[in-house]
Amino acid sequence: QVQLVESGGDLVQPGGSLWLSCTASGFRFEDYAMSWVRQAPGKGLEWVATISSGGGTDIYNWSVKDRFTISRENAKNLLWLQMTRLSPDDAGVYFCQKHIGEGMERSDWSRRPGSRGQGTQVRVSS
């Protein structure tokens, strides 16, 4: 079955950096676009970034553009999110999200079981 496991969340000071990773299993990872999404306390799910199945195209929420980088290593079924210049507004639980195929729109997010991991928590505080 599809499984996504995120890791790397931590407490970091404002201006700091973090690397998040997501290990995928149960599907042919290289065939699917992937996203990172996040949820701040008391708020809804927010899209962060998406990467194409082959890794050649990436798109970002304006709020993280030029600070975050999404990447993937298909040979190892790994998805990453490099986060720099973190601010308290970036705090929340970060999830990796599988798409239904190569489509990169939010409407292409898979709703099947396991298509979003359990998340990893990022806290930004001095």
Q: What's the CA gap between 31 and 76, in Å, rounded?
A: 13
pLDDT, tens only, 32-47: 999 999 999 899 999 9
Q: Which of 111, 125, 105 is nearest to 59 (CA)?
A: 105
The band of 93, judged by pLDDT with boundaries at 50, 70 and 90, is very high
* Amino acid at site 111: R
Please state, rounded to an integer, the average pLDDT across all residues of the chain: 96
Q: How many CB atoms lie within 10 A of CB 25?
A: 12
**pLDDT score, position 61:** 97
* Amino acid at site 70: I
Q: What's the CA gap between 51 and 9, in Å, rounded?
A: 20
pLDDT, tens only, 5-38: 999 999 999 999 999 999 999 999 999 999 999 9
Q: What's the CA gap between 94 and 81, in Å, rounded?
A: 10
Q: What's the CA gap between 73 and 18, in Å, rounded?
A: 18
The band of 60, judged by pLDDT with boundaries at 50, 70 and 90, is very high
Q: Which of 100, 51, 60, 104 is nearest to 78 (CA)?
A: 51
